[in-house]
Chain A
């Protein structure tokens, strides 16, 4: 029996690029687009594309959108779920490679990393690289999971992980929350190299250092005050 692979794409005001991102994925996967209350033309942009379109009535954040997509995929009977960014930063060619590793090594989660290959590393803008290194240390201290890349949005998980992981952190701190849950739930994981394409568009839309500080505070609150 063929495994059902669902690509979950959280999206907020990515109407300019979402069509291109979805087209780049080809037609072999089920695509779940979670529109997090976009105010642009996202819905129209994907009208004729083969996707499940879910829309939040209020903007909740990327973590909430991912969980919505994961809940939907679970209900649809997904065997494997892939987290994929809407802005076209991720490489669709990595999907099969990650799924293959998940299968052959009998893992629960495969996490993308920009720090395992030199060519991926040098593609990261310098300031972002510095921020990610600091985040890695803080993340390691808070989650107990020492990864090379703390905030990479490209992940692949099997049904077991899909059933077990429940994101409560609605905004960007979900990336740390996932790591905490992987550790707490004893899920088997590995990091694999992935290439992130930094375009002018994605850098403008991406997080700034203030956002990183916000995430740290969210992670701290989530860990100790929930």
Chain B
């Protein structure tokens, strides 16, 4: 198995690895104060670089895990990650929704206009 693994990077592997590194740096900047998100993205980028640098690795992993081809393994991982990301983002969206609602509600109560209340019973 070890004999098949090459560590010499071709130009396309270098380019893809560089792109992934850019994504890693961008995600580090993007997720300020969010250690969990940062670790998650770094993990994805690191796995991506590893798979690009050693293309046979996903094949071996796929065979070991019994999921067919290497590309299938990558697809399953990406699909799961995608769903996880949607769930996390949706949860965040709901949290923002709650905050926005509270702010708008407090403002509307604070700025309540009393129309012609002269006719209102006491």
Q: Taking beta carbons and an 8 Å cutoff, which residues of A are in contact with B?
A: 27-28, 30, 34, 46-58, 60, 64, 67-68, 71-72, 75, 168, 170, 226
Is B114 a contact of A52 with CB atoms below 8 Å? yes
Chain A binding site: helix, strand, loop or mixed by DSSP?
loop
Is A48 a contact of B115 with CB atoms below 8 Å? yes
The tally of residues in B whose CB lies under 8 Å from a CB in A reads 21
Contacts of B120 in A (CB 8 A): 27, 30, 50
* Residue of A with least CB distance to B107: A57
The winner among B98, B113, B114 for most chain A CB atoms within 10 A is B113
Chain B binding site: helix, strand, loop or mixed by DSSP?
helix
CB distance from B93 to the nearest CB of A (A): 12
Contacts of A226 in B (CB 8 A): 94
What would 17 more interface pairs be, CB under 8 Å, given A54-B112, A58-B100, A71-B109?
A27-B119, A27-B120, A47-B115, A49-B116, A53-B114, A54-B108, A54-B111, A55-B108, A55-B111, A57-B104, A57-B108, A60-B101, A60-B104, A64-B104, A72-B109, A75-B109, A226-B94
Which residues from 85 to 122 on chain B have a C-beta closer than 8 Å to any C-beta of chain A?
A: 94, 97-98, 100-101, 104-105, 107-109, 111-121
Neighbour of B108 across the interface among A34, A48, A51, CB < 8 A: A34
